[in-house]
Amino acid sequence: MTLTADQVLFEKAKRHIPGGVNSPVRAFVGVGGTPVFVSRAKGAYMYDTEGREYIDYVGSWGPMILGHAHPKVIDAVKLACDDGLSFGAPTPFETTMADLIADIMPHIELIRMVSSGTEATMSAIRLARGYTGRDKIVKFEGCYHGHSDSLLVKAGSGMLDIGEPTSKGVPADFAKHTITLPYNDTQALQSAFDKFGDEFACVILEPIAGNMNMVIPSQEFHNTLRELCTKHGAVLIFDEVMTGFRVGLKGASHHFGITPDLSTFGKIIGAGLPVGAFGGKREIMECIAPLGGVYQAGTLSGNPLAMRAGKAMFDELTRPDFYEQLTAKTAKLVNGLQKLADKHGIDFSSCYVGGMFGLFFSKELPKNFDDVAHADTKRFNQFFHAMLEQGVYLAPSAFEAAFMSIAHTDDDIERTLVCADKAFGELIG
């Protein structure tokens, strides 16, 4: 049997890289088969090592909202390269970035740059604990906040039990400070606060979930959460690493009209370079070193390449109608897919906000992690591979959201729908 180019590359990669990948979802474990090895990308397209073109709806898991290799971003990075890659000293570009974000989101009074979303949420939680002097934190089932110890925790057997680690290597002693509640469940939230409210340092959530496929919680859930956090003095952290500048310029907090105490960012703000950030209320942020006693640092934080790439990208995002255009593209694709699934008599549901969307092989639109887990993943995997074969790159997991970029043309979307018509038609079982 002759191996494909990707199979050869995957075998080579496995010799010295665990599982052949540097982040697990890239290994195609959920959908089976061999990952596509990418050589380059431009606009809406990625190209494998043999030059095969894919219409890409992953966009590096969110950052590529302008499409790949946007000329203005690439030029900004090239210019930045000529000036040196890192200084370990302040640069004016960091101030520009902080000002830009604070202008777009006025509830961000102070903001600190880090190098990943994981660092942003980990630091925001330490800050909330330092600010409140409390240890317990609350998270929600199906929300992902990176891979720091306190956050790799799921619910224990009883709903309000202490948490259990979801990864080996996380001490039970850490997990016991994390309470995991069902997402989008106002009643469970109320009960947890009734019992422990005054012990909570913070509640962290994805305000629109994008790591259990995509789930949009109710306005009531958000209103209740904001009220309870205020009443009990718990810091409300919106993890907008995915949704920030993705569901709209002002993110999910604006979508729901909720002002969180702290917000975390990543993905889009680096335009594809490794960046994260956390920010919010001045009174809380002033607890961070060097102003306060909560320690947080980073050798490469505020890296000049990343800041200058981010600035070039924000120049595009803040153009009038950017998000209207992006949303129209997402709507055209998602509504088109829904119509095709209905035509083929397939149980299918879908949702979108701005440039982010969720596709489910289930009759009803999922409202929480349990619902997502009950959708037909076998069908999803068949659909994924049928699309991949035709040159459409969807997220290789039924538990991930998908992303539109401004570079996707009507023609790209129509081509995607033609492929989907065929893929839906071939679904068996």
The catalytic residue positions are 144, 239, 267
Our finding on whether 185 is near ligand PLP (CB under 6 A) is no
User: Minimum Å distance from CB 31 to ligand PLP?
Assistant: 19
Our finding on whether 266 is near ligand PLP (CB under 6 A) is yes
* Residue (118 or 150) nearer to ligand PLP, CB: 118
User: Minimum Å distance from CB 238 to ligand PLP?
Assistant: 10
Helices (H), 260-400: 282-285, 304-317, 322-343, 369-374, 377-389
What DSSP designation does 149 have?
Answer: G
User: Minimum Å distance from CB 145 to ligand PLP?
Assistant: 5
CA 189 – CA 234 distance, rounded (Å): 13
Total residues interacting with ligand PLP, rule: CB under 6 A: 15
Among 37, 140, 144, 278, binds ligand PLP (CB under 6 A): 144
* Residue (268 or 420) nearer to ligand PLP, CB: 268
User: Minimum Å distance from CB 62 to ligand PLP?
Assistant: 7
Our finding on whether 123 is near ligand PLP (CB under 6 A) is no
CA 147 to each of CA 119, 188, 241, 289, 338: distance values in angstroms, whole numbers, following the listed order: 9, 25, 13, 23, 34
Q: Give the closest residue to 400 by CA, choosing from 358, 371, 368.
A: 358
CA 273 – CA 333 distance, rounded (Å): 28
Type of residue at 31: V
Own/partner pairs for 83-91, CB < 8 Å, 24+ apart? 83/304, 84/304, 85/303, 85/304, 85/305, 86/299, 86/300, 86/303, 86/304, 87/304, 88/299, 90/302, 91/302, 91/304, 91/307
Biggest alpha carbon–alpha carbon distance for the chain? 65
Tokens of 94: 């960091």
CA 344 – CA 333 distance, rounded (Å): 17
Our finding on whether 118 is near ligand PLP (CB under 6 A) is yes
Type of residue at 78: K
* Residue (305 or 341) nearer to ligand PLP, CB: 305
CA 222 – CA 136 distance, rounded (Å): 20
For CA atoms 128, 155, 167, 205, the dihedral sign is negative
* Residue (211 or 397) nearer to ligand PLP, CB: 211
Site string for ligand PLP, 267-296 (x = CB under 6 A): ---------x--------------------
User: Minimum Å distance from CB 314 to ligand PLP?
Assistant: 18
Residues 242-261 that bind ligand PLP (CB under 6 A): 242
User: Minimum Å distance from CB 144 to ligand PLP?
Assistant: 5
Q: For residue 386, give every residue at least 6 positions away whose Cβ sits within 8 Å of its Cβ, in sequence order, or none.
A: 419, 422, 423, 426, 427
How many Cα neighbours within 13 Å face the side chain of 121? 26
User: Minimum Å distance from CB 9 to ligand PLP?
Assistant: 23
Among 20, 63, 67, 117, binds ligand PLP (CB under 6 A): 117
Our finding on whether 206 is near ligand PLP (CB under 6 A) is yes
* Residue (236 or 423) nearer to ligand PLP, CB: 236
* Residue (211 or 263) nearer to ligand PLP, CB: 211
The one segment of 81-89, 115-123, 182-190, 328-336 that binds ligand PLP by CB under 6 A: 115-123
Our finding on whether 145 is near ligand PLP (CB under 6 A) is yes
Among 91, 121, 253, 296, binds ligand PLP (CB under 6 A): 121
Among 180, 184, 211, 330, binds ligand PLP (CB under 6 A): 211
Which residues of the shown chain bind ligand PLP in the complex (CB under 6 A)? 116-118, 121, 144-146, 206, 210-211, 239, 241-242, 266, 276
